Amino acid sequence: MKIASLVLGMTQTNTYYLHLQDSKEVLVVDPADRGDYIYERITSQGLRVAAVLLTHGHFDHILGCQKLKELSGAPVYAFEEEREVLESDRLNVSREVGRSFTMKADVYLKEDEEVTLAGMTFRLVATPGHTKGSCCFYFEEEQVLISGDTLFQGSVGRTDLPTGSGGTLYRSLKEKLMCLPEETKVYPGHGDSTTIGEEKRYNPYCA
C-alpha cells in the first residue's frame, strides 16, 4: 500500500490518498478543503478516485468532499452514527467558522463492518468521543490505522465541540485502539504519523 497526504484548510488537516502499488484506484480519506485541487493532484499522477472515506463530520474534514465527488463521481462512505453531524452545519461547526456546509454520504457503514474498495480491505472501528460518530479505518493486512481526530501523536482530539465526550473518547482509546498490534502505523487527522506502540508508551491519554 502507498499512502500520500495533502495538508489542507484552516486547521491544517491531513487528507490522505491510498492505493496499492500496482493499482491506479485511490481511496481518499477526509477531503478537508479544495476538492478541485485534491482531484487535480491525484489525477495528474494517472490515478483515479474510487471512493471517499470520512472519519467524522467536522467541517475541516469534509469541506472538499462535495467538489471532489462531483469531479470524480466517487461514492462517499461514513459511519452511520455520524449522519446527524454531517448533515447539520451547527453540529459540524461549519456555521460557526462562517463556511456553512453539510454533506450526505452515499453509503453509511455499520460498526465493525468490513469493506473492500480499490483492492484494499478495511474495517470500520467505531471510536466515539471526538464526535458521537467518529471512527477509524483499520487496514489489518497492511497494519495501517487511519485515526481521524481520535488519536494524534502524543495527544487526542478535543471533546468540547457538539456531540463530543471526554469519557467516551478515553474508552474508545482503551477498548478499541490500544488493543491493536503495537506495530500498527497510525495516520492521524492532524500532525505526524505514529504507531500504536509509541502511543501506548508516550501518550499520556493512552496510559
Closest residue by Cα to residue 62 from 93, 41, 40: 93
* pLDDT category of residue 207 using cuts at 50, 70 and 90: confident
pLDDT in tens, 149-169: 999 999 999 999 999 999 999
Answer for the pair 3, 146: CB distance below 8 angstroms, yes or no.
no
CA distance 73 to 21: 23
CA distance 72 to 49: 6
Q: What is the mean pLDDT of residues 187-198?
A: 98
Is the pLDDT at 185 greater than 90? The verdict is: yes
- DSSP 8-state assignment for residue 72: H
Q: pLDDT value at position 158?
A: 96
* pLDDT category of residue 132 using cuts at 50, 70 and 90: very high
CA distance 163 to 149: 14
Contacts of 26 (CB under 8 A, 6+ apart): 17, 18, 19, 42, 47, 48, 49, 50, 118
- Unique residue bearing C-alpha cell 490522505: 16
Domains of the chain: 2-206 (3.60.15.10)
Q: pLDDT value at position 3?
A: 98
pLDDT in tens, 70-123: 999 999 999 999 999 999 999 999 999 999 999 999 999 999 999 999 999 999
CA distance 184 to 195: 5
Q: pLDDT value at position 69?
A: 98
pLDDT in tens, 33-83: 999 999 999 999 999 999 999 999 999 999 999 999 999 999 999 999 999
